Structure 1
Amino acid sequence: MAINFIPTIGQKDGSAVLTDLTKVLRDGSVYPQEADIIIYTGWPQVKDYDGRTHSSDLTAFGTDYGIKLVKISLSSNFSEVRRDAQSILQAAATTDALLSKSLKLKRRRKLIFDVVPIIYAPNLDGGHFKDEEVEFASNEAELIRLLKRTDESLTTEQRDEVQAIIEGAKALGQITEVDDDETLQPIARAYRNLEAIIYNFDASQRSVALTAIKGPQRIRGLAGTGKTVILAMKAALAHIENPNAKILITYYTRSLRDIIERLITRFHRHFAEVDPNWENVHVRHGWGRANVPGVYRDACIRDGIAFKSFGDVKHMRDPFGTVCSELIKNGPPSAYYDVILVDEGQDFPDSFYQMCFFLAKGTRDEKQIIWAYDELQNIFDVKVREPEQLFGKDDDGVPRISLTRSLPLGTDTNDFVLQRAYRNQRDILVLAHSIGFGVYGQPVQMLENAKHWEDVGYDVVSGDFTTGSLNIVERPMVNSPSALATPKDVRLIDIRGATDMSNEVELASREIRQFIEGGIQPHEILVISLDDKSARGYFSALSTSMLEFGVPCNNIINDPYSEPPFRIDGKITLSTVFRAKGNEAAVVIILGADAAVLQTRTGRNKIFVAFTRTKGWLRVFGVENRTFTALCSEVRIALSKSPRIEFNMPDMTNLSTIQRGLEDKHARIVEAKRRVERMKSELGLTDDEIADLLEED
């Protein structure tokens, strides 16, 4: 039997009745062995028209059982139980309305199964409770009977649809509106189908977003594994749970604000049907400017301290780290936020984390600080900095934050590793890693061992990863499940040389026009210049060419002193690598690839970041020179070996080692999950069959 248990962000502490009930449902004795059940605690959470929040203490959903929402009322007072019954009825009605928006789940204009509200009141005499709309249970046996009541059987597609709606994934489908006309061009149709896969992100990612942990959490994964989406969902759910709480979500790349706000809005509307209150949900750049809010700037203003801009400290070795350190030394900033979520955590200095520690309310191990760390994407540092380093030590010499120390009893982990990359096509991600490490040219960096390759979603085919050994790793489809059915005459990846800059812009313009004529919207195209010095020249020439075609461009480097939206409908986005980080597009066009410095980590990491911005197609252009010829050669070799990467392990004393950074317990959990997923894939086993194997003596 497969029972998936998700203790969500809305779960309330201290209910022994809920704890005991959850144990009973999870021990395998309630439902038949073949049943497929999901148990949520504290979910769903919804709002009524008056803005009041209603939630289910326990929700059970099964392929053959419909959806049962349970409110536990321990009162012996009839009117109080009646109030709880009306609350669970409201939660059920809103859930029913959400599900009814999907035609896949309806027959004759009605849902094909029931959303059943249940009031469980063990301290009330059931003989006095009469309500035809709410089921009543006064003891555990009656409740179990109601939960086991069968309903219309669902297909796998219908089951997945219900889960995606309940967990909020369907909200993402509203971000990009695509015409459903049957006359869509093949390119546009291929991309529309791809987005349907990407936006219905998998259950393990949604579980991370929903799961409640009282205390700090770290979320790690490659580009495109959904970290930003997860943080935005956590922010929206925390706001629904407590509209008066102060919630901060912060980021490093200035152009990320727009997409984060849109994600939070989508999730909040999905469950609460209204926009968030931005007075209490702050989407802030880490630093800020004189006219732009930021975490550091806001903290200075609240505490009456003079704010320092980049211009004030640009001569320093670490400008942002310096201003954060000074703020802490001058007297730690006052606690202000109930929840702090940090995106692009790999780019922030240690002192920024220490500032966030003081800004977060609560005791040391209960501070709700959640940071997402992008594996392999930090352009400045290869070392995975552990929490003890990031947050520093308290006055008593003890680390302020320790994931091991703060892990609640009964919780598997608070250090989540996301292995499935949904943004990038498998061949593009394998190519990006190959070029980023330099395995087919001049290696400049490397993962430290086989386990680290597995952490980021590869299977080790052969090799012992000792110096000089031949090693082969392969990226399985299960960890790169987004497959773009590109038309046969449209290459997924193409790299072409030009005679000069003018010819390069001409080639790029021609490619962009073909994609637009194929149905791709201008705002779904991103142009990145790898040549920072020539970026303005590239973008000026390209903008002129595109205007002749009738398509304007959104050149986000035109105003370096503000936070312009990264994507504007109807406009092609023009960006440098640094501004593009954290963003994505259907098509990525790279200019100035001949300027990449292949002998340095910074040069290769810029290529890696640029390549991994695309959800679909990749086009690379550069003026033909020695560097561009070498890059073309590496690309051809990588594509010929994809989805494998083959390399001789370099001498790690001569180059940068990207550290794994997993504590032993968490590493064992990650390894166990990876092996189970691989066993399911190789042997074609279901979750039920895996569970049966584990239960055998």
Structure 2
Amino acid sequence: MTERLTITRGVNKKPVTTDVLEQSLEVLQDIQGEVFTGYPLVATPDGKYSIDATLVSPSKGIVLFDLIEGPGVGDYAERQDDLANKIEARLKLHRELVKGRQLVVPLSVISFAPGIANVEAAAVEGYPLVNEHGLAAALNEMNWLESNDDLYRMTLSAIESLSSIRKSRSKREVHREDSRGAKLKRLEDSIATLDHRQNKAVIETVDGVQRIRGLAGSGKTIVLALKAAYLHTQHPDWRIAVTFHTRSLKGQFRRLINNFCIEQSGEEPDWTKIRVINAWGAPGGDARDGVYYEYCRATGTEFFDFRSASNKFGGSERAFDGACQAALTNVSDATLLYDVILADEAQDFPPSFLKLCYSMLKPPKRLVYAYDELQNLSGTSLPPSEEIFGNDEHGQPLVTFGDDRRRRDVILQKCYRNSRPVLVSAHGLGFGIYRDAPQGAETGLVQIFDYPALWEEIGYKVQEGQLAKGQHVVLERTAETSPRFLEEHSDIDDLVQFIRFDDEAQQNEWLIQQIKRNLQEDELRHDDIIVIHSDPRTARGSTGPIRRQLFEAGVQTHLAGVDTDADVFFRTDTPSVTFTGIYRAKGNEAGMVYVINAQDCNGTGAGLASLRNRLFTAITRSKAWVRVIGYGSRMQGLIDEYEALKHHGFVLDFNYPDDALLGKLRIVHRDLSPQERQRLERKKSQLADLLSDLDSGELHPEDLDEATREKLKRLLGGSV
């Protein structure tokens, strides 16, 4: 059972009394459980109904609080009856909490009025009315004698319950209990409600900046969407923006927000107040609007589209950063456009964009940004908040998580999308844990966290060794952070497969047969399948022949963002299998994922970290099964790494690099722009020509001036 009283602070219209209640509860020594303020919300025929505060305790049951601000109690007895009836009706939908026609968990109501000194004079018999001095005595009267741990957990889950959030996009028809479709249905049903930490992240509201971190599949996008909807239902007059990097997330955000608002308040969201909006944007109406474009409009700042920004700021990688930095020179009160901004996939934004969001917020600057340290496809992580948002006029950081870090810096450790074998495979290959060291290199690692403790923050546990630089360590995922039901539906050899073919044609033929089998025999739907090509430059050309043959076999497909609008990933108008490049795949998921031409994610030298990040991201799109396929010797290299990982029992066993080696890894496998890559290839070619001339005798060492010879000696460590 829970060890202490923990409080999740949501929002309601009674901040003063809420603060007094929290302080009064925190000093109680003998009560365990969970307190929620401003939660749950209940949809009724008369509209939404918000509970001021709720206590769920293994010794008290459920206690609802009617908070009273000021000296007047009104008809509080009627309010208590209304409150109890509404929550009882909701709880009775949970069969495990009902015996016959009665709830098996006691349900009580207390009216809490700290502004009234003589509460006895206003009290009605049978309807508890207390101030902070009488709260402990009122709670002592309440006892849940039939309580047990399972029943308490089910009660807590029912109060927190946010059903239908992870249900599939359309109804799933299955006829065989052992089919892949049936397994997927059971998985989806098992994770249809949020866990406690995710739910806390939805409700917990802070005045200021909040950061949500977690692995792919830990629920960051869902938490952000529900948080936006929760704030919208509590503050319908607030202007709220939800923004993101991957445009195909737009439909997912709108669906989640719409579902939550209807379920919790009985009303559809007011889309003029809560906006699901692109980050960049362009002229062309609401559908094309974006946070940056709106900022430029408000301030009269010059707007750069992608092409003009690339030309002005030095290439595609620097385009958005340059545009945002240029815009930030024009900060004014005209930019205070939103009450809350929620930014997903923040790891793919330049810090200047988060700073731009911050400057668009009215005080107290409610910015929530979610990111995954491991999913940045450019190979760099977000800097600390103090660095992103800068200092005030006194030199103090504008944003720091400080003493309130627990509420402001939320880490979602549990991964609900990927099973343990899938997730550890993605990490093992993404970091090159079992990659053989190339000739002359100290390690086969491609990249690793600078901050070793981050492994524990994302849900790994030390099985052996020491998690520190320069030390040997063995890391494993636990049942707590990787629930075992995610992997128990299929054999490990079915969950993850790495397969090498002789050539691309053979790979494609196998893929076509597998997709046909998935649809015809496995009871998978078209939208249960994603085919990911890891190289965005060649995805269209490489997938064309496969899609043509599938079309001839009667299987409809589409290339996300090319055959569809940029905001569409899964087609809803017709059954169609999604083919996609790696960038559009981000933020999306499916039961069966095929990663094709995977050999493109292997290699040596500059840019390898970015290629391995693509492989990591592609593998982690899978809710159940993943097939990593390719051809040639580079594909064999990936298979060798996977086999070593499997041989080790899906743990990560490696020597953590020291600072010197970490620095070398960053240089050797760094990401390069196309221009930098061309320059590097040109210089390597010139060096090869020089060495060839020296070797053939066309050029003698004595032909070089003494300073050049000395420099070559020093750099190459030999004699020239």
TM-score w.r.t. length of structure 2: 0.81
- Are 1:492 and 2:495 matched, yes or no? yes
Rounded Cα–Cα distance in structure 2 between residues aligned with 1:150 and 1:637? 55
**More displaced stretch, 554-563 vs 311-320:** 554-563
Equivalent residues in 2 for 1:606-685, closer than 5 Å = 606-622=614-630, 624-650=631-657, 651-656=661-666
The answer to whether the Cα contact below 8 Å between 1:187 and 1:487 also exists between their aligned partners in 2 is: no
> Which of 38, 52, 58 is matched with 2:53 structurally?
58
Residue in 2 that maps onto 1:665: none
Asked whether the 8 Å contact 1:88–1:119 carries over to 2, the reply is yes
Aligned CA distance change for structure 1 residues 104 and 152 (closer, same or farther; 3 Å): farther
Deviation at 1:254, TM superposition (A): 0.9
Cα deviation, 1:523-554, whole Å, max 9, x if unaligned, reads 12111011334322343333334445544223
Q: Distance in 2 between matches of 1:93 and 1:60?
A: 17
- 1:563 maps to 567
Q: Secondary structure at the match of 2:473?
A: strand
Q: Does 1:460 align with 2:454?
A: no
Q: Say yes or no: does 1:534 pair with 2:538.
A: yes
Q: Distance in 1 between matches of 2:551 and 2:145?
A: 56
Give the whole-Å Cα distance in 2 for the aligned partners of 1:69 and 1:76. 20
* Contact in 2 for aligned 1:486/1:492 (Cα 8 Å): no
Indicate the residue corresponding to 2:327 in structure 1.
327
Contact 1:450 1:460 in 2 (8 A): no
| Helix, strand or coil at the partner of 2:6 | strand
Give SS of 1:231's match: helix
1:207-238: CA deviations, max 9, x gaps?
Answer: 22222322211111221122112111211111
Contact 1:509 1:542 in 2 (8 A): yes
Partners in 2 of 1:110 and 1:173 — Cα distance? 30
1:18-417 equivalences under 5 Å are: 18-27=18-27, 29-31=29-31, 37-46=33-42, 48-51=44-47, 54-63=49-58, 65-77=60-72, 81-82=74-75, 89-108=81-100, 111-113=103-105, 115-121=107-113, 123=116, 136-137=129-130, 140-141=133-134, 144-145=137-138, 148-150=141-143, 153=146, 156=149, 158-176=151-169, 179=172, 183-291=176-284, 292-315=288-311, 316-317=313-314, 318-332=318-332, 334-362=335-363, 366-404=364-402, 407=403, 412-417=406-411
> How many Å apart are 1:346 and its aligned residue?
0.9
The separation in 2 between residues aligned to 1:320 and 1:119, in whole angstroms, is 53
Moved more, 511-520 or 106-115: 106-115
Q: How many residues are aligned here?
A: 640
CA displacement at 1:593 relative to structure 2: 0.9
Q: Flag the 1:461–1:150 CA change in 2: closer, same or farther, 3 A.
A: closer
1:200: Cα distance to partner? Answer: 3.0
Counterpart contact for 1:257–1:565, Cα < 8 Å:
no
Distance in 2 separating the partners of 1:454 and 1:142: 40
What do the CA deviations read for 1:310-350 (whole angstroms, capped 9, x no partner)?
A: 12222233111111122221344610111111111111112
Residues 50-80 of structure 1: CA deviation (Å, up to 9, x unaligned): 54x54333312234644221112244435xx
Distance 1:310 1:219, change over 3 A: same
Q: Secondary structure of the equivalent of 2:233? A: helix
8 Å CA contact 1:345–1:371 kept in 2: the answer is: yes
**Contact 1:430/1:642 (8 A) holds in 2:** no
| In 2: Cα distance, 1:258 partner to 1:653 partner | 41
The residue aligned with 1:582 is 587
Give 1:686's aligned residue.
none
- Looking at structure 2, the residues matched to 295 and 87 of structure 1 have their Cα atoms a distance apart, in angstroms, of 43
Aligned equivalents of 2:140 and 2:262: distance in 1? 29
Greater shift after overlay, 281-290 or 93-102?
93-102
Contact 1:209 1:233 in 2 (8 A): yes
Distance across 1 between alignment mates of 2:170 and 2:157:
18
| Identity across matched positions, percent | 28
Question: Which structure's relative contact order is higher, taking Cα pairs within 8 Å and 6+ residues apart?
Answer: 1
Measured in 2, the distance between the counterparts of 1:194 and 1:376 equals 25
Superposition deviation, residue 129 in structure 1: 6.0
Q: What is the rounded CA distance, in whole Å, between the counterparts of 1:266 and 1:414 in structure 2?
A: 26
Offset of residue 397 of structure 1: 4.0
Structure 2 Cα separation of the partners of residues 185 and 177 of structure 1 = 20
Q: Which moved more, 1:346-355 or 1:170-179?
A: 170-179
- 3-state DSSP of counterpart to 1:245: coil
Pick aligned residue for 1:521 from 525, 534, 541: 525
The C-alpha deviation readout for 1:410-440, integer Å capped at 9, x for no partner, is: x744222222222111111111111111122
* Structure 2 match to 1:691: none
Kindly provide the amino acid, as one letter, of the partner of residue 434 in structure 1.
G
Structure label with greater radius of gyration: 2
Structure 2: runs of 5+ lacking an equivalent: 436-443, 669-720
1:247 CA displacement: 0.9
Contact 1:450–1:465 under 8 Å retained in 2: yes
Q: Distance in 2 between matches of 1:4 and 1:56?
A: 19
Quote how far apart the aligned CAs of 1:510 are: 2.1
Answer with 146-155 or 469-478: which moved more: 146-155
Structure 1: distance between partners of 2:294 and 2:301: 10
Q: 200-209 vs 171-180, which deviates more?
A: 171-180
CA distance in 2, matches of 1:288, 1:547: 34
CA deviation string 1:489-536 (max 9, x = no partner): 971111222233332222112222333322222212111011334322
Give the residue type in structure 1 aligned to 2:518: F
Query: Structure 1 residues 308, 93: closer, same or farther in 2, change over 3 A?
Result: farther
Deviation at 1:612, TM superposition (A): 0.8
Q: Point out the more displaced range, 17-26 or 164-173.
A: 17-26
Shift of 1:12: 5.8
The CA deviation at 1:251 is 0.5
1:205 CA drift (Å):
2.2
Task: State the shift of 1:23 in Å.
Answer: 4.5
CA contact (8 A) 1:185 1:519 kept: no
**Paired residues of 1:526 and 1:587 also in contact (CA < 8 A):** yes
Report the counterpart of residue 511 of structure 1 in structure 2. Answer: 514
The one-letter code sitting in structure 2 at the alignment partner of 1:656 is R
| Deviation at residue 152 of structure 1 after TM alignment | 7.7
Give structure 1 stretches of 5+ with no counterpart.
Answer: 659-697
Residue 194 of structure 1: how far off its partner (Å): 2.1
Equivalent-residue separation in structure 2 for 1:655 and 1:74 (angstroms) = 60
